[in-house]
Amino acid sequence: MTPVRIGAVAAHFGRDVGRTLAKLEAMLAGARRDGTDLLVLPGATIGGYVPDLQHPWAAGHSRTPGAQDLPPAFALDDAIVDQVRRLAGPMVICFGFCELEDGLRYNTALAVSGDGVLGRHRKVHQPLGEVAAYAAGDRFAAFDTPVGRMGMLIDYDKTFPESARSLALDGAQVVAALSAWPASVTNRAERLGDDRQARLFDLYDAARAAENQVVWVSSNQTGVFGDLRFLGQAKVVDPAGRALARTGTKGGLAAVELDVAAEVARARRLLHHLVERRPAAYGPVTDADRADADRAEADRAEAARAGADRVDGARR
């Protein structure tokens, strides 16, 4: 393939959908002028994230017990989603939103171009504060795009090595990791750069890129929303785990031009991590106990139902 221009965005996106769409229109127009082929926006681009991961059901800005401040939810065929697709034009755009389907809300990442939807990922791994706000996804799948075969993850997904490995085994050479990743909510540092979560965010980006020998495009929210202070730290990482471009804690764009296929082939020329795996030696990692998995899924479904009941009760 020929070189492509890839950008990872660090920016703040909140509840005001109209303001977000106006911001995206200007941002995407600038990206097109710069010749961008793939632009990865933060998680929860449309409508923002939850404002509190410790007390999600008393998280309204009013601080009134029981007040709700959940992101607005949209069906996949909603006009809002279609507007982002039309703004993308010839570019591939990855963005996050709260997806509504069959009465369930999902923390979703969507890859689109002017031609339509290219791929979708529903966040699989959820921190405790998210369980009552979103239903969990149940798969990782790569998909083909004009910039090559790629996959997507949403923030906490990248904590788990199996997430990125599943995408790489499915042929992804680019992984877009969309985040609304905050600083530590239990052990806050005075400076974001010294925060425990800031270190982990960078560590996971480098490790997952190097483990799987893929191009890693990591975006993140910035600023403050509710009780959460977001890290920024968007970056593009090469298959050796080197950050080729990155932002700081404030809004910005990390952009590079590279030949994805050539970079991946170079990294795998001598040591090909996917080929040289020994799955038979990994035991429980590859021979998952189905009963345990079923029980865990039932627990997640029960938590999601309980959360939905609490929302309905508050609205009544």
Lowest pLDDT segment from 53-62, 192-201, 227-236, 240-249: 53-62
Q: Let me know the angle formed at the C-alpha of 102 by 101 and 107, rounded to the nearest 5 degrees.
A: 35
103: how many CB neighbours lie within 10 A of its CB?
7
What CA–CA distances, in Å, run from 248 to 43, 223, 233, 251?
17, 12, 5, 8
What does the pLDDT look like over 175-226, one tens digit per residue? 999 999 999 988 888 888 889 999 999 999 999 999 999 999 999 999 999 9
Amino acid present at 253: L
Per the CB < 8 A criterion, the answer to whether 241 and 203 are in contact is: no
What are the tokens at 39? 């632009």
Neighbours of 306 (CB within 10 A): 12
Task: Give the C-alpha distances (Å, rounded to integers) separating 226 from 11, 46, 57, 130.
Answer: 16, 16, 13, 14
Q: What is the spatial distance between Cα 131 and Cα 53, in angstroms, rounded to a whole number? A: 10
**Whole-angstrom Cα distance, residue 215 to residue 3?**
13
Per residue in 15-67, pLDDT tens?
A: 999 999 999 999 999 999 999 999 999 999 999 999 988 765 543 433 333 44
Q: Where are the domains of the chain?
A: 4-277
Higher pLDDT, 169 or 62: 169
* Choices 2.40.340.10, 3.30.870.10, 3.60.110.10, 3.40.50.10140: CATH for 4-277: 3.60.110.10
Of 99, 214, 102, which Cα lies nearest the Cα of 168?
214
Are residues 128 and 300 in contact, defined by beta-carbon separation less than 8 angstroms? no
Contact predicate 58/66, CB 8 Å: yes
Please determine, for residue 314, whether its predicted confidence score (pLDDT) is greater than 50.
Answer: no
